[in-house]
Amino acid sequence: MYPMDFEEFLIAFNQEALLDKIKYCFQKNEPMGILHNKAVDYYRRYLLSGGMPDSVKNLLNCGDDYYNYDLAILDNIIEDYLNDMNNYVSNSSETLRIRKIYNSLSSQLQNTSKKFQYSVIDNGAKAREYAQPLNWLIESNMVQMCKCVKLPEKPLLGFVDNDTFKIYYSDVGVFNRLLNNDIKTIILDDMKIYKGIITENYVANELKANGTELLYWKGTRNSEIDFLISTRNDGIIPIEVKADIHTQSKSLSVYKDLYHPKYMIRISLKDFGFENDIKSVPLYATFCINNKYLDRDEN
């Protein structure tokens, strides 16, 4: 079973009119105005529950009082994920390695580089011991891999550095629960040091759900572009993710000077707009970055 993306989440809450407005504003680069805060509120509810159907159903049953959401739902989902291994992995040492990788991801993502490192899993851990367990997690859709691109040119997959990648949780609600973030922390946007990577994980989930190969670029001078997409008419488009309305970034400037993209996308809590070659996309509209609304190409 796969998580709902945010578009499906809004449909579950009978918010088709809000959904239509988001799609329109994405295409026209027009602000949502007074509906922006309403959409942000639903985005925060999504961060709380994630997209797994049982979790969304529980949140729906809470009505507008989502402080009554049952966090035990997420605990059960996590346990079901891990117990499911017993049906497919017969080797107990392999099961242990899978659990160690899964439990290490929050630390992996909080590292400055965010690069997945086998040494973080366990003291002395080697790729040859953990590559297969990691592959099991990816194939089972418990996690998602984002590969590093050395040169942002077509085809992007032809310039992948296979030794450098990030691993995200496949459901942002599960991620928040593993961090032990409570309802108030999420709804009041008080996630502190983990706020940035939770936001990035959410965007990765949305892009993946809408058919995007997860790829990022890392350059010199500590510059990094969170995601890259390939389009037929506009070339390679860089995507930067910000957790707040503060959107200053050196990395986009570095990338622009090096590769001169036709335009860039910044995903943040700001409303829609287009300025200085940057298309501003609110976090709740990440699902719009797909084949239907952008002239996408194969990677």
Q: Which two tokens stand for residue 278?
A: 């940057």
Is 125 inside a domain boundary? no
Locus of tokens 């851990």:
125
* Cα separation, 94 vs 237, whole angstroms: 39
Is 56 inside a domain boundary? yes
Give residue 70's pLDDT band: very low, low, confident or very high (50, 70, 90): very high
Looking at residue 292, its pLDDT comes to 59
Exposure string of 255-272, with b = 16+ CB inside 10 Å and e = fewer, is: bbeebebeebbbbbbbbb
Looking at residue 114, its pLDDT comes to 85
* Cα separation, 215 vs 212, whole angstroms: 9
* Cα separation, 213 vs 90, whole angstroms: 31
Query: How many domains in the chain?
Result: 1
**Residue 92 burial by Cβ neighbours in a 10 Å radius (0-12, 13-18, 19+):** exposed
How many CB atoms are located within 10 Å of the residue 42 CB? 17
- pTM, two decimal places: 0.94
pLDDT higher than 60, residue 298:
no
Task: Measure the N-to-C terminal CA separation of the chain; round to a whole number of Å.
Answer: 26
What's the mean pLDDT in 100-120?
89
* Cα separation, 285 vs 35, whole angstroms: 13
One-letter amino acid identity for 268? Answer: S
Give residue 137's pLDDT band: very low, low, confident or very high (50, 70, 90): very high
Is 299 inside a domain boundary? no
Is 196 inside a domain boundary? yes
What 3 state SS string does 235-279 have? EEEEEEECCCCCCCCHHHHHHHHHHCCCCEEEEECCCCEEECCEE
Is 251 inside a domain boundary? yes
Looking at residue 93, its pLDDT comes to 84
pLDDT digits (tens, 9 = 90+) for 208-263: 999 999 999 998 778 899 999 998 889 999 999 999 987 777 899 999 999 999 99
Is 123 inside a domain boundary? no
Give residue 297's pLDDT band: very low, low, confident or very high (50, 70, 90): low
Query: Whole domain around residue 278: which residue ranges?
Result: 6-86+143-288
Is 76 inside a domain boundary? yes
Looking at residue 291, its pLDDT comes to 59
- What lies within 8 Å, CB to CB, of 49 at 6+ separation is 55, 56, 58, 59, 69, 73, 74, 173
Is 33 inside a domain boundary? yes
